[in-house]
Amino acid sequence: MIKSQVRACVARCVATGCRQGYWTDDGKDTYAIEVPKREGQGDFSTNFALISAGKMKAKPRDVAAQLAGLLNDEPMFERVEIAGPGFVNLFVRPSVWASVLAPVYEQENTFGFSTIGGNRKVLVEFVSANPTGPLSVGHGRNAILGDAIARVLSATGYAVQREYYFNDAGRQMRVLGESTKARCLELLGLVAEFPEDGYQGEYIYDIARSLVAEQGEHLQDAPLDLFIGHARGMIFAGITATLARIGIQFDSYFNERSLYENGLVAKVVEDLRAKDLAYEQDGATWFRSTEFGQEQDRVIIKSSGEPTYRLPDIAYHREKFARGFEWMVNVFGSDHIATVPDVLAGVSALGLDAERITVVLYQFVTLLRGGKQVKMSTRKATFVTVDELVDEVGADAMRFFFLMRKADSQIEFDLDLAKKQSQENPVYYVQYAHARLCSIERQAQELGMEPGSPDEAAVLALLTAPEELALLKSMAAYPELVEGAARDLAPHRIVFYLMELAGQFHSYYNKRKVLGDDAALSQARLLLVGALRRVFRNGLMLIGLSAPERM
């Protein structure tokens, strides 16, 4: 927010310089306003002089001097300096930083929200786990990442719809049915051959026990669809319950079977053939994906008549376009990296704008216990489920740890660390900052002390300690940080921000006394405490975590 004021101020001075003939207005909108990486180089810096001088064949430092002269007259700057080859460094007055407190109090729960999304219709598809077993920790990262992306998009003015693609067709469902049938027959004391690649684990026995209790010996001659349907229903009910437990709900579920039942898959093949983009070879149907930059054509229908994964996925994305979504965000595991280009090529082949589809690929999760990796295998059901992870570390810790890294970075989830009730644990460290702020406010109430007004200049003028200015600057940066997290689909930035802010606050608390003998200073610092509490609460809620008042 302060940055936008600085940008407006620089733009005003650039326009003045144009009118006075210092420079042409060629490229005046191409310069940047950045936060310098090194301390002492100002709060902000602009490269305007470098950009403008290059166009005018002038010396950058001469142009910088002219711009600095204009900026020195702006009341928001304490001083302006020329640095290096022609950068202009801007030092903002402390009173300007303190002005962030008023909007924090005025906007309360919506501080950090914006309307940059312009109500643009966005579909975020995530989880979309096959209903063949409980959600594993890998699915958990997908769920938390997708939910956090949806949250930051909603907070920045996008019209977000969360969707789960219910993939209940194809070979994996047949194997699930065969696995369930084998366990049912086993429980009935009958000879049963378990499929070689069948789904193992106690959850298959639970499904079988339920079905045996319901159907009994009638299962001997029951069709495979009965076993598939019962297993699918029980597993998906469990998935839904698990997601609800970690605070995730979907606006819609899209059933893969409907693509076949409504002829949408067949329509894709028909349209590709009509464009001479599909052909027969070796008994299979191929898509001319080389026409769209791929190294080789791809099979979309096998010689067995079974479609490959690409075909229904192309049909599904065409359906997303048909529903009017302007932006489609897909959250997939990194094992999809080779399939994404095929689907995007298929979308383009159908005359649709693949640029409107963004795929977020995340790396997988390694669990550590006692410093050693926890072995996992989905097929053998030796994986750790989301429910087990929540039972062990809690939903907040799970969310925080899953968002502590960029999506394309692998996570080593230290179970022992996540359970610690100490400041070694990063989620505890951040939540404790909020709880400590709440404690300060309770103490103030007991002493009959009230915070000062965020609109009172005399109060704001007391917040001049270096630690206070650092906290004010961090709070001022929060709205732009949220916008960037939404624009780049990078909710991990919220976690990084909260960790840094917590470090700043804990350091401030250990060095400065908030409730002291100086009543005016205490009021000013209480005002700062209240604003910090609101920012912590908003940031934690934005990524789906609780903001405890006591710890």
Predicted local confidence at residue 375, as pLDDT: 75
Task: Residue 349: name the closest of 287, 295, 306 by CA.
Answer: 287
- pLDDT category, 25, cuts 50, 70, 90? confident
**Whole-prediction pTM value?**
0.92
For 283, the 3-state DSSP assignment is coil
Backbone angles phi, psi at 276, to 5 degrees: 60, 35
Q: Which residues are within 8 A (CB) of 149 and not within 5 positions of it... i.e. 6 or more apart?
A: 124, 126, 329, 331, 360, 489, 491
Predicted local confidence at residue 473, as pLDDT: 96
Residue % of the chain over a pLDDT of 70: 98
Quick: pLDDT tens for 143-161.
999 999 999 999 999 999 9
**Which H/E stretch holds residue 136?**
none
**Which H/E stretch holds residue 161?**
strand 159-166
Predicted local confidence at residue 26, as pLDDT: 60
Question: What distance in Å separates the CA atoms of residue 7 and residue 11, rounded to the nearest whole number?
Answer: 6
Rg (C-alpha) for the chain, rounded Å, is 29
Quick: pLDDT tens for 435-444.
999 999 999 9
Beta pairing class for 278-281 and 365-369: unpaired
Mind giving me the DSSP string for 349-411? HTT--GGGEEEEEE--EEEEETTEEPP--TTTT-SPBHHHHHHHH-HHHHHHHHTSS-TTS-E
CA angle (285, 286, 287) in 5-degree steps: 130
**How many Cβ atoms are within 10 Å of 518's Cβ, its own excluded?**
12
Beta pairing class for 372-373 and 44-46: unpaired
- pLDDT category, 53, cuts 50, 70, 90? confident
CA angle (325, 307, 172) in 5-degree steps: 90
Quick: pLDDT tens for 482-514.
999 999 999 999 999 999 999 999 999 999 999
**How many Cβ atoms are within 10 Å of 301's Cβ, its own excluded?**
20
pLDDT above 70 (res 319): yes
Q: Which residues are within 8 A (CB) of 518 and not within 5 positions of it... i.e. 6 or more apart?
A: none
For 124, the 3-state DSSP assignment is strand
Q: Would you say 472 and 463 are in contact if contact means Cβ atoms under 8 Å apart?
A: yes
- pLDDT category, 276, cuts 50, 70, 90? very high
- pLDDT category, 405, cuts 50, 70, 90? very high
* 75 or 26, which is more confident: 75
Q: Which residues are within 8 A (CB) of 190 and not within 5 positions of it... i.e. 6 or more apart?
A: 220
For 165, the 3-state DSSP assignment is strand
Q: Would you say 343 and 308 are in contact if contact means Cβ atoms under 8 Å apart?
A: no
- pLDDT category, 377, cuts 50, 70, 90? low
Paired tokens of 533:
């509490």
Which residue matches tokens 């995340």?
A: 362
For 281, the 3-state DSSP assignment is strand
Quick: pLDDT tens for 407-416.
999 999 999 9
Predicted local confidence at residue 381, as pLDDT: 54
For 87, the 3-state DSSP assignment is strand
pLDDT above 90 (res 200): no
**Cα dihedral 250/168/186/205 (nearest 10):** -20
* 24 or 136, which is more confident: 136
pLDDT above 90 (res 288): yes
- pLDDT category, 382, cuts 50, 70, 90? low
Question: What distance in Å separates the CA atoms of residue 454 and residue 435, rounded to the nearest whole number?
Answer: 22
**CA distances (Å), origin 326, targets 146, 251, 357:** 18, 17, 9
Task: Residue 492: name the closest of 409, 548, 435, 433 by CA.
Answer: 409
- pLDDT category, 380, cuts 50, 70, 90? low
Predicted local confidence at residue 14, as pLDDT: 92
**CA distances (Å), origin 468, targets 33, 38, 77, 277, 451:** 24, 19, 18, 63, 15
Query: Considering the chain, what is the average pLDDT of its residues?
Result: 93
What structural domains and CATH numbers belong to the chain? 2-92 (3.30.1360.70), 171-245 (no CATH), 422-542 (1.10.730.10)
The whole-number average pLDDT for the span 521-529 is 97
Quick: pLDDT tens for 350-367.
999 999 999 999 998 999
Predicted local confidence at residue 38, as pLDDT: 86
- pLDDT category, 449, cuts 50, 70, 90? very high
Paired tokens of 497:
């921000």
Question: What distance in Å separates the CA atoms of residue 395 and residue 387, rounded to the nearest whole number?
Answer: 9
The whole-number average pLDDT for the span 39-61 is 89
- DSSP assignment letter at 24: -
Contacts by 462-468, CB closer than 8 A, 24 or more apart: 462/520, 462/521, 462/524, 462/525, 463/94, 463/98, 463/524, 463/525, 463/527, 463/528, 464/94, 465/508, 465/512, 467/504, 467/507, 467/508, 467/511, 467/512, 468/508, 468/512, 468/525, 468/528
